[in-house]
Amino acid sequence: MSEKTAKIGLFGIGLDTYWPQFPELKERLEGYLSEIAAKLTSFQSEVVNVGLVDTVDKAFDAGSTFRREEVSLIFLYASTYALSSTVFPVVRQANVPVVILNLTPEAAIDYSAFNAMGDRTKMTGEWLAYCSACPVPEIASVFNRTGIAFYEVTGMLHDEACWNEVREWVEAANVAHILSRNRLGCIGHYYSGMLDIYSDLTQQYAYFGGHIEIIEVDELSALRRNVSTTEITDRVAHFYECFDVQPDCVKEELERAARTSVALDKLADQYRLGSMAYYYKGTGTENADTMSSIILGTSLLTARNIPVAGEYEIKNAQAMKILDSFGAGGSFTEYYAVDFNDDIVLMGHDGPGHISIAEGKTKVRPLYVYHGKVGKGLSVEMSVKNGPVTLLAVVQRKSGELSLLIAEAESVAGPILEIGNTNSRYRFPIGARNFIKSWNRHGPAHHCAVAVGHIAAKIEKLGHLLGMETVIVC
């Protein structure tokens, strides 16, 4: 579970002074906390539940436990009023983001039944069980003044809207966990002169963690030399299973792509890669033969959760990995053209595509020139599934800091450019003109990643966990 799931910390808060005054209150609040723990566990998360913290000593113990267990995110259940002095030590020691669960047991107190209880002590105990909102301003004030990042979910204990929001936080924590352990392989070099894609690798480490392995093309070529005839035959058969191989794809090109595909898998295994960026412009060498036959293999890697970005676009490899880790795909794309008649933006790219999110089976076509690049070979042609999609760009700003740029849209049916590249038609709720102007205003590189589904809210939460500014243009 720890490979892809973060550890989630959970604790409730209360005031020990209350327990002898209201004998049933503590047990009742612990019951609510148990419900929350069960719900978090149902989200496929590993929950470290330290129980109800009601004294300073317990607070220090809870913080130590969270730090020792290396939790990535803490949920603080504000069950009733509690002193901020019993909250602050927990979160300060853990030193991770915290989400306050301000969840009341029901939508409202039954005023008639409450006022008919007749015993003001019991009435006060009942009121305190509904007192989730009471400590939140105090906690928020202390967190703000001490520089602790916190977020809040307010609502009812049995409100699905609240739990959907909590689920998004858990998913975001899992993605942050995956990124922190991801190994990104960089093969080759930048596309010369494409200034927007150049990246500060140290900043990539600072925000995402993980490891970046600089890999020589020669290593892939060496692995390619040792691919057997049987492996090539089997991989060509696999191509026919996964792709719609067009009749004009010749056997020699399929075998050349198969040899490279097998070698790519071995390279990914050797370095335990979780994502990749590549580009190479050498000519007349074994390396050129390797890199001009890479598209089918990189498309297969992308489909099995090792997203590959062309043109050595490291920032976009990170964006693709984010989307893939949310289980939504993550295909390489850029503006192609605008259809003002239909108010849609055509987007796509040469190179690998995420065939798992394709509308229908991805076609394989031969190209006799790779536009703007050296060589020729087989390429993939696909459109992203019709329906909701999300675009994501990792943006490096003038300050050097990284931010996330997001847009939600619809992938719609219609004519595409049958040029052997990925190619889709996207309709944006703010229209094509406004989307392009709004997107460009934030200065992203010309590449971005696309996934299926509307997941902006999840990515925004991930941005909070990573300490990255997040902008949603639509």
Q: Kindly indicate the confidence band of residue 333, based on its pLDDT and cuts at 50, 70 and 90.
A: confident
* Same domain flag for 306 and 396: yes
Work out the percent of the chain whose per-residue pLDDT is above 90: 73
- Flag whether 204 is in a domain: yes
Which of residues 179, 205, 231 is at a domain's end? 179
Which of residues 179, 213, 242 is at a domain's end? 179
* Same domain flag for 437 and 333: yes
* Same domain flag for 413 and 438: yes
Q: CA-to-CA distance for 305 and 420, rounded, in angstroms? A: 23
Average pLDDT of 273-298? 89
**pLDDT, tens only, 151-162:** 999 999 999 999
* Same domain flag for 173 and 192: no
String of b and e for 383-404 (b: at least 16 CB within 10 Å)?
Answer: bbbbeebbbbbbbbeeeeebbb
Domain count, the chain: 2
* Same domain flag for 196 and 161: no
Cα angle 334, 365, 241; round to 5: 105
**pLDDT for the residue 369:** 64
**pLDDT for the residue 2:** 55
Give the CATH number, domain containing residue 91: 3.40.50.10940
């936080």: which residue's tokens? 169
**pLDDT for the residue 59:** 95
* Same domain flag for 170 and 186: no
pTM of the model: 0.93
Give the CATH number, domain containing residue 352: 3.20.14
- Flag whether 24 is in a domain: yes
Nearest to 274 by CA among 186, 168, 396: 186
Q: CA-to-CA distance for 209 and 203, rounded, in angstroms? A: 9
* Same domain flag for 148 and 261: no
> Whole domain around residue 294: which residue ranges?
182-472
* Same domain flag for 217 and 162: no
**pLDDT for the residue 1:** 47
**pLDDT for the residue 374:** 64
**pLDDT, tens only, 239-270:** 999 999 999 999 999 999 999 999 999 999 99
- Flag whether 379 is in a domain: yes
* Same domain flag for 220 and 121: no
- Flag whether 18 is in a domain: yes
* Same domain flag for 55 and 192: no
Average pLDDT of 68-96? 94
Which of residues 179, 194, 229 is at a domain's end? 179
Average pLDDT of 9-16? 95
- Flag whether 1 is in a domain: no
Give me the phi and psi of 85, to 5 degrees please: -70, -15
More confident residue, 331 or 283: 331
* Same domain flag for 142 and 223: no
* Same domain flag for 73 and 95: yes
- Sheet with 244-245, strands from edge to edge, namely 244-245, 363-367, 377-381
